[in-house]
């Protein structure tokens, strides 16, 4: 059977990936209600097509942090991609380069900063960062990203420690022994291959390195030690959006960490409107993006209609990787681009500027009839 949509690739990945890797990639926190809602929340938004608007020519491009990209769909940071395919992050970044969109490299990657930079020198690459207990480790990663030509730092702010993920607990998750955390050396890299007292290697890694005492002052510190733009990933409330705007960060990724931190948070698309409102109120030039639940071109359209500049997707790229490496990720991006382009045309939009809030409404609008 031909794979024609993202869901087809997910079904294929579920059939071929080892249980340890598949459960790590697909699982969410707790009972996974938020994981389910990340996708279902999009279905509660209805499109409002406008007709006879001349959509013979359509422009899918947008400008992100001053750089023009071909489609408003980027690749989120996901950890340990070589569990999905031998080329891992290198295949993913090459696909992003070919599609002229943004690739975000996870700190917890199985390919190093330098390897990713060499694999796709012309790709728009951002580096996802945690601030560690050992600030020298953090500084070292920042300097390496700067030297390798990465264009922004994406600070994950919703992870004082990792959420409760039952699948990883049952599997006592560890990174397969032939792989490593490529951005670290020695003990810091080996912790993830260990299971201690029934706790997964990933949790041992996190507990040993992550800093649960972080505050907004640490974001200020980060802005002082680098000239790269700072994007905060994991914002879900207007209060935190306000703090981010006050600090003058370059961007916000509205995200619930793929529903992997705590069950019961809003879906990312549900949280987006209040973030947009707060950023607009601030008057600051802070770009807002969305991560979580993107599976179809209509999802991209809906997020842009609610005010996001672009969206990022993580799991779909992993499913593409599992299928056929770089070509699989390229196919995922092709599919989302085709679906987004079709949605724009049918809804009467010739460019991203035409995708306004009046092009969608909540399902409750019609339930009142």
Distance between CA atoms of residues 318 and 138, nearest Å: 26
| Residues 174 and 201 sit within 8 Å (Cβ to Cβ) | yes
71: left (phi over 0), alpha (psi -120 to 50) or beta: beta
- Give Rg (Cα) of the chain: 20
> Using CA atoms, how far apart are residues 369 and 364, in angstroms rounded to an integer?
9
The Cα 240–Cα 222 span in angstroms is 17
Instruction: Write the DSSP string, 178-216.
Output: T---TT--HHHHHGGG--BTTB-HHHHHHHHHB-TT--H
Phi/psi at 250 (nearest 5 deg)? -80, -30
| Two tokens, residue 326 | 């770089």
Tokens 């790590």, residue located? 24
| CA 257 – CA 66 distance, rounded (Å) | 26
- Tell the residue number behind the tokens 């510190």, with chain if given: 221
Spatial separation of the C-alpha atoms in residues 269 and 37, rounded to whole Å: 10
Catalytic residues: 257
Question: How far is it, in rounded angstroms, from Cα 223 to Cα 227?
Answer: 7
DSSP 72: S
Number of residues that this document lists for the chain:
369
Per the DSSP assignment, residues forming a β-bridge with 362 are: 45
């Amino acid at each position: 059977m031909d794979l024609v949509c993202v869901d087809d690739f997910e079904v294929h990945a579920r059939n071929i990936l080892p249980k340890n890797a598949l459960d790590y990639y697909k699982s969410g926190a707790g009972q996974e209600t938020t994981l389910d809602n990340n996708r279902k929340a999009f279905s509660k938004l209805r499109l409002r097509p406008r007709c006879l608007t001349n959509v013979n020519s359509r422009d899918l491009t947008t400008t992100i942090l001053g750089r023009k990209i071909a489609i408003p769909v980027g690749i989120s940071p996901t950890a340990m991609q070589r569990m999905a395919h031998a080329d891992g992050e290198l295949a993913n970044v090459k696909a992003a380069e070919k599609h002229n969109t943004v690739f975000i490299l996870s700190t917890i990657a199985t390919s190093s900063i330098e390897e990713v930079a060499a694999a796709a020198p012309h790709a728009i690459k951002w580096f996802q960062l945690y601030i560690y207990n050992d600030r020298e480790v953090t500084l070292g990663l920042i300097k390496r990203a700067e030297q390798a030509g990465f264009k922004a730092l994406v600070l994950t702010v919703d992870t004082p420690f990792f959420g409760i993920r039952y699948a990883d607990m049952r599997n006592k998750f560890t990174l397969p022994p032939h792989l490593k955390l490529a951005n670290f050396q020695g003990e810091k890299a080996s912790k993830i291959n260990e299971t201690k007292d029934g706790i997964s290697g990933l949790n041992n890694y996190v507990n040993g390195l992550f800093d649960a005492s972080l505050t907004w002052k640490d974001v200020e510190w980060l802005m002082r030690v680098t000239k790269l733009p700072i994007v905060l990933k994991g914002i879900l409330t207007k209060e935190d959006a306000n703090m981010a705007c006050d600090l003058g960060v370059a961007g916000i990724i509205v995200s619930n960490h793929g529903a992997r931190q705590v069950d019961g948070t809003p879906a990312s698309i549900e949280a987006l409107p209040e973030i947009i409102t707060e950023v607009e109120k601030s008057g600051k030039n802070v770009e807002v993006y969305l991560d979580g639940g993107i599976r179809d071109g209509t999802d991209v359209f809906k997020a842009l209609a609610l005010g996001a500049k672009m969206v990022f997707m993580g799991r779909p790229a992993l499913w593409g990787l599992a299928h056929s490496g770089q070509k699989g990720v390229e196919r995922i991006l092709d599919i989302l681009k085709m679906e987004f382009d079709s949605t724009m045309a049918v809804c009467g939009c010739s460019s991203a500027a035409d995708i306004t809030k009046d092009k969608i409404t909540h399902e409750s609008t019609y339930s009142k009839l």
